[in-house]
Structure 1
Amino acid sequence: MNNSAHRTSTAHDHAAHQAHAGHAGHQMGSATWGAAAKATLHCLTGCAIGEILGMVIGTALMWGNVATMVLAIVLAFVCGYSFTLFAVRKAGLDFKTALKVALAADTVSIAVMELVDNGIIALAPGAMDASLTDTLFWTSLLGGLVIAFLVTTPVNKWMIGRGKGHAVVHAYH
């Protein structure tokens, strides 16, 4: 390739990259709060489904606190990863590549959410011993998820601004 053709090709590649990088506020170096909130809400949805399901199952079966929390955390990760995995599989990725994308996109976000949410539940007096019919069970669980969203959104904003986390998924749109 001669220098002129190489410069034209490089300029085109750069322009295409810049156009994609600006998609939905995910440009490298900065990210919008809206994009971060959307990414966090995506993770929170899967995370909340697994977390609530795990807490309900463990509590209904009268498991101990540790077993219930472990089940809730495992299900939160499985459900959280599943949302991304199914979306990128639908975009045409093979399973192995889709799994790598889901792990790269969601691991930190889900881990922060789980740390915050389960920390709140564990530290709320009586929450881990509350039954499914107790207001304390639901307020600590749902309140923990709300606080986890608020804590995780800036983390996701920081990661998206560096081309990591949820920004990885946008290469496959």
Structure 2
Amino acid sequence: MDHSAHHAAAAHDHVGHSGHSGHEGHASGASWGMAIKATLHCLTGCAIGEILGMVIGTALVWGNAPTMVLAITLAFLFGYSFTLFAVVRAGLDLKSAIKVALAADTVSIAVMELVDNAIIALTPGALDAHLDDGLFWSALLGGFAVAFVITTPVNKWMIGRGKGHAVVHAYH
């Protein structure tokens, strides 16, 4: 079995164990359920990091640029850490686990952060909103919702080709 076929098979087996049929989208090697699960995994780490960064930057009355840099940095950090801890628990050494996390999450986190931050930047007044302002939270959460919708098909395509979260499934 070639390397990408192994990942697709591992991904398919993982879907079968999680209660999804794995048949929708089977020709590409990844179901929508699996893509949604991978995107939610990524979104969780991104959301924690991004919200933390926005809260810290806003609370410290930083400007927009340093606040967004902090939020994006923390989004990547938390996004990678979720995968890193999972594969280390599965028995991988730290160096290999870092490689898996980078391979699994970089594109997904980058797409999610690009979309989310674009939504925030394009929402009038959102960048200047304070933590107690509904606009701050609605722009942030709305950005995550749009990012989820855009990132899920990207993850489905990548997993179907043995990339992205398919790399993680080899270690489950």
Matched, 1:85 2:75: no
Counterparts in 2 of 1:107 and 1:141: CA distance versus 1, 3 Å: same
Provide the alpha-carbon RMSD of the alignment.
Answer: 2.1
1:104 paired with 2:103, answer yes
Instruction: Give runs of aligned pairs for residues 1-173 of structure 1, distance below 5 A.
Output: 17=6, 20-23=10-13, 24=15, 25=22, 29-173=28-172
Q: Structure 1 residues 29 and 54, CA, compared in 2 at 3 Å: closer, same or farther?
A: same
Q: Which consecutive residues of structure 1, in runs of 5 or more, have no partner in the other structure?
A: 1-9
Per the alignment, do residues 92 and 28 of structure 1 end up closer, same or farther by CA in structure 2, a change over 3 Å counting? Answer: farther
Name the TM-score, length of structure 1 as normaliser.
0.87
Q: Structure 2 vs 1, CA of residues 134 and 19 (structure 1 numbering), >3 Å: closer, same or farther? A: closer
Q: How many residue pairs were aligned?
A: 161
Contact 1:28 1:163 in 2 (8 A): no
Contact 1:27 1:163 in 2 (8 A): no
Q: Against the structure 1 CA distance between its residues 89 and 98, is the aligned structure 2 distance closer, same or farther, given a 3 Å change threshold?
A: same
- Determine the C-alpha separation between the residues in 1 that align with 2:140 and 2:38: 21
Cα offset, 1:21, TM superposition: 4.9
Gaps of 5+ in 2: 16-21
Instruction: Quickly say closer, same or farther: Cα 1:125–1:22, change in 2 above 3 A.
Output: same
CA gap 1:21/1:36 in 2 versus in 1, 3 angstroms: closer
Secondary structure of the 1:131 match is: coil
TM-fit CA distance, 1:31: 1.1
CA pair 41-127 structure 1, distance change in 2 beyond 3 A: same
Q: What is the TM-score normalised by the length of structure 2?
A: 0.88
Do the aligned partners of residues 19 and 148 (structure 1) sit closer, same or farther apart at CA in structure 2, a change above 3 Å counting? closer
Q: Take 2:11 and 2:131, find their aligned partners in 1: how far apart are those partners?
A: 45
Q: Is the 8 A contact 1:28 1:160 kept in 2?
A: no
Q: Equivalent pairs: percent with the same residue?
A: 76
